[in-house]
Structure 1
Amino acid sequence: MHSSSRRLLAAVAVSTVVAVVGTACSSGSGSSGAKGADSGTFTVWDPYPQFTKDSAWTKLLDDCGGKAGVKIKRTGYDTSDLANKTLLAAQQGNSPDVLVVDNPVVSTLAEAGVLTTTDDNKLDTSKVDPNLLAAGQSDGKTYGTPIGANTLALYYNKSVLKEAGVDIASVKDWPSLTAALEKVKKAGKKGITFSAIGTEEGSFQFLPWFWGADAELTRLDSDQAVSALSLWKGWLDKGYAPNSVLNNTQTTSWQEFAGGDFAFAENGTWQLAGAEKAGFEYGVLPVPAAAGGSAAAPTGGEFVTLPVQDDTDRYTTSQKLATCLTSTQNLYDTDTTLSYVAPTTEVQDKQVAANAALQPWVEAVKKAKGRTSDNLGTQYPKISEQLWKAVQSALSGSKSPKDALTSAQDAAK
């Protein structure tokens, strides 16, 4: 077996572990890749099966195709399904021309030899915020450009905090947040809800606290990591957070907050529409770091990438399509549709000018960090699985935070 084939098979195994974080989607229908397309038709695969033929996204693809002088054959897949189909298509030499893929999967595809680098495909990433671009980098090479980003922050219910006598301006670090939760409980309301479920969603939600303690994913059992897990465990023990967090997805956690009794909820930009419909005044606060300031939260969102093709003459047109999709105006329109924060300062400023409520999200995204950053690449899914298992063990009381993270570190090795 060739080394490239071994890498692809290994990547298929890894990609089944990388789960979606965000809203759920139904699966898309099958489609041929570049090999099955004629010279005047270019294939695009994306993780947006919810978008129909008359959607703004599909119209944008057709418009970019028209400007490049080609027709677009587009297929939307469920995010987890998309990674596997991409790897299998690469094995068959039938990759799509343009691939829009969840950012943690980029390093998996890159390591498998599926993607071209920006040095090869000439995609311009000079305006992209470096912390967001890092999610698509591995071993010093960049494999695409982000189409937008979402991340996590704390939504808060203004009326609940007012009733409890909490000034949101006082919440600046972990001690002041815990003090606020104590006041909320004494006032007869509920403190904070989040997702600690035993999946990637649980790791995704724990990472702002983990990184906010200055912990590193290569050392799950550090004192900093233990302090972060102890914070969550302490909230459950004192009744500041409900035991339901052990089974909460980000959706069910949001439903708890939307009920109106919780002071805080950790959730993402994708809940903005729901927040407007919740029936109470809300605000958004970046997740505080242990000693103050904003913690780094993990980035969600997709990268526009150009897979490797046997027919290298197709790259020039593919680059035009990718450049069109990530132009300033198109980023603004697309990220508004997806409830994403744009990956460039220029477009972020336009978003905030149009909707001031996005300002705290822009601040959170500027502090955000890719889950596969720090050159973790395909190690991340293995580390993440041990992290969410540790969170589950500690919060359920089966192990202490320290013992849970020690076991996690041993297993991650």
Structure 2
Amino acid sequence: MHTSSRHRLTAAVALSTLVAVTGSACSSGSGSASAGGADSGTYTVWDPYPQFDKASAWAKLLDACGAKSGVKIKRTAFDTSDLSGKALLAAQQDNSADVLVVDNPAVSTLAEAGVLTTTDENKLDTSAVDANLLAAGQSGGKTYGTPIGANTLALYYNKDVLKKAGVDISSVTDWTSLTAALDKVRKTGKKGITFSAIGTEEGSFQFLPWFWGAGAKLTDLDSDEAAAALSLWQDWTKKGYAPNSVLNNTQTTSWQEFASGDYAFAENGTWQLTNAEKAGFDYGVLPIPASGGGSAPAPTGGEFVTIPAQGDTGRYATSQKLVSCLTSTENLHATDTTLSYVAPTGEVRDRQLAAHAELKPWVDAVKAAKGRTSDDLGTKYPRISEQLWKAVQSALSGAQSPEDALAKAQSAVK
């Protein structure tokens, strides 16, 4: 999720961790799309931001892009967990929204169901978007929409805890040096690292940087590389470098542990930056290291702006204008500030960094990030992810060895 304390991070714009946003959706219009023709003066937009009301910068941007395109905008906001189902149902009734802003892992599911148009059909220009971020919205060689922004995971660290343990953060460059730092911290009586290993998508989301950082692939869950990543987490819990609570931790409860001031490190997302400013201790941010050094690919969060298929294809031209307006360089900068995202284009990221140099670790993490449905996994991802988080749970609880847990996971996927 996001970027800087100035960026008004809201935990509700949940990183595409598929974490359901709580609370009821609020709306500035009804849920039905306009039934008018291509020249209809009202275009509908559905988004997963119920926390933003009519007076918000986001709602005002939608209205401004509508005015620029010569139409009125009827916006409906849904909880992230509800939006995909609503979009599928609307498509079956030929009542889709004109513009749909949706969590990136849902794009391939909606595309496979025939809900979305391709960029070839709708003429959206995605040439400025980073390839690793655009990949989350690609399936079968086709692109469905464009990212509105990105967020991902990194390691927050407590400067005081590390200083007292004699750890120089610049020495933490790979798994070996990170584990050595955790050992030093534990010997001072403080705690090492906290993360979320819960048996949900959040657990998979948090494990993926280590999984990918070992060189493992989601199509081969029982590889030696995958076992190395799971063994790392298991060893940390066995040695007390990470608490047993990680088995039940969400990203929120994991953050609360770090905020206590007792931990050296916490794996969490951009969306915690406002909370980090309030924590009451000096903190830093480090991209998650890969096994042998460098930044590990962390999973991308953030939404795609898409154009659903319509019975009246004449509507696409105006929808394309709306999306192009929302994702223009000028508006993208404002939008990513509003939504607390790292921009998906280099030009806008440069502007973000010029204003907030402290975003650099997050920019580096996003540049190394990878979509969960990339590698053309598409709708296979949810099943793979479920088996992955089950394997993590099994290994960390001591029920199975990492190798046995991952072999069982791979077998279940097949």
Q: Give your verdict on TM over 0.5.
A: yes
1:211 partner SS: helix
Residue 32, structure 1, aligned to residue 32, structure 2: yes
Indicate the residue corresponding to 2:153 in structure 1.
Answer: 152
Identical amino acids, percent of aligned pairs: 77
- Once superposed, what is the RMSD of the aligned Cα atoms? 1.3
1:36 CA drift (Å) = 6.5
Q: Structure 2 counterpart of 1:27, which letter?
A: A
- 1 CA distance for matches of 2:33 and 2:264? 48
Q: How does 1:386-405 map to 2 (within 5 A)?
A: 386-405=387-406
Contact residue 174 and residue 290 of structure 1 kept, 8 A: yes
- 1:267-316 deviation per Cα after TM superposition (whole angstroms, max 9, x unaligned): 00001111111111110000000001010000000000000001111111
1:133 partner SS: helix
Residue 171, structure 1, aligned to residue 172, structure 2: yes
Q: Structure 2 counterpart of 1:124, which letter?
A: D
- 2 CA distance for matches of 1:256 and 1:336? 27
Residue 240, structure 1, aligned to residue 272, structure 2: no
Q: How many residues align?
A: 396
Contact residue 96 and residue 309 of structure 2 kept, 8 A: yes
Contact residue 23 and residue 270 of structure 1 kept, 8 A: no
1:342 partner SS: coil
Q: Structure 2 counterpart of 1:361, which letter?
A: W
Contact residue 35 and residue 95 of structure 1 kept, 8 A: no
- 1:193-234 deviation per Cα after TM superposition (whole angstroms, max 9, x unaligned): 000000000000000000000000000000000000000000
- 2 CA distance for matches of 1:314 and 1:330? 22
- 1 CA distance for matches of 2:46 and 2:179? 45
- 1 CA distance for matches of 2:365 and 2:169? 17
Indicate the residue corresponding to 1:287 in structure 2.
Answer: 288
2:35 partner SS: helix
- 2 CA distance for matches of 1:347 and 1:405? 40
Indicate the residue corresponding to 1:91 in structure 2.
Answer: 92
- 1:309-357 deviation per Cα after TM superposition (whole angstroms, max 9, x unaligned): 0111111110000000001111111111211100000000100111111
Contact residue 26 and residue 53 of structure 2 kept, 8 A: no
Residue ranges of structure 1 left out of the alignment (5+ in a row): 1-17
Indicate the residue corresponding to 2:9 in structure 1.
Answer: none
Contact residue 154 and residue 284 of structure 1 kept, 8 A: yes
- Residues 1:22 and 1:356: Cα distance change in structure 2 (over 3 Å): farther
Contact residue 21 and residue 80 of structure 2 kept, 8 A: no
- 1:139-185 deviation per Cα after TM superposition (whole angstroms, max 9, x unaligned): 11000000000000000000000000000000000000000000000
- 1 CA distance for matches of 2:18 and 2:26? 15
1:26 CA drift (Å) = 3.6
1:216 partner SS: coil
Shifted more, 18-27 versus 337-346: the winner is: 18-27
Contact residue 21 and residue 81 of structure 2 kept, 8 A: no
Indicate the residue corresponding to 1:359 in structure 2.
Answer: 360
Indicate the residue corresponding to 2:277 in structure 1.
Answer: 276
- 1 CA distance for matches of 2:349 and 2:228? 34
Contact residue 17 and residue 301 of structure 2 kept, 8 A: no
Q: Structure 2 counterpart of 1:375, which letter?
A: D
- 1 CA distance for matches of 2:220 and 2:267? 24
- 1:246-287 deviation per Cα after TM superposition (whole angstroms, max 9, x unaligned): 000001101111111100000000011111111111100000
2:365 partner SS: helix
Q: Structure 1 counterpart of 2:171, which letter?
A: S
Q: How does 1:188-267 map to 2 (within 5 A)?
A: 188-267=189-268
- 1 CA distance for matches of 2:145 and 2:35? 21
Indicate the residue corresponding to 1:330 in structure 2.
Answer: 331
Q: Structure 2 counterpart of 1:34, which letter?
A: S
Contact residue 98 and residue 307 of structure 1 kept, 8 A: yes
1:264 partner SS: strand
- Residues 1:87 and 1:148: Cα distance change in structure 2 (over 3 Å): same
Structure 1 stretches (4+) deviating beyond 3 angstroms? 21-26
- 1:358-412 deviation per Cα after TM superposition (whole angstroms, max 9, x unaligned): 1010000000000000000000000000000000011011111111100000001
Q: Structure 2 counterpart of 1:20, which letter?
A: L
User: TM-score, structure 1 length as denominator?
Assistant: 0.94
Indicate the residue corresponding to 1:381 in structure 2.
Answer: 382
Indicate the residue corresponding to 1:108 in structure 2.
Answer: 109
Contact residue 20 and residue 80 of structure 2 kept, 8 A: no
Contact residue 17 and residue 205 of structure 2 kept, 8 A: no
Shifted more, 27-36 versus 335-344: the winner is: 27-36
Q: Structure 1 counterpart of 2:272, which letter?
A: Q
Q: Structure 1 counterpart of 2:83, which letter?
A: L
- 1 CA distance for matches of 2:24 and 2:177? 41
1:21 CA drift (Å) = 3.9
Q: Structure 2 counterpart of 1:230, which letter?
A: S
- Residues 1:395 and 1:198: Cα distance change in structure 2 (over 3 Å): same
1:100 partner SS: strand
Q: Structure 1 counterpart of 2:63, which letter?
A: D
Q: How does 1:13-162 map to 2 (within 5 A)?
A: 20-21=18-19, 24=22, 26-28=24-26, 30-35=30-35, 39-162=40-163
- 1 CA distance for matches of 2:277 and 2:20? 18
Contact residue 247 and residue 396 of structure 2 kept, 8 A: yes
- Residues 1:24 and 1:345: Cα distance change in structure 2 (over 3 Å): farther
- 1 CA distance for matches of 2:403 and 2:322? 50
Shifted more, 25-34 versus 258-267: the winner is: 25-34
1:379 partner SS: helix
Indicate the residue corresponding to 1:3 in structure 2.
Answer: none
1:25 CA drift (Å) = 5.3
- Residues 1:305 and 1:25: Cα distance change in structure 2 (over 3 Å): farther
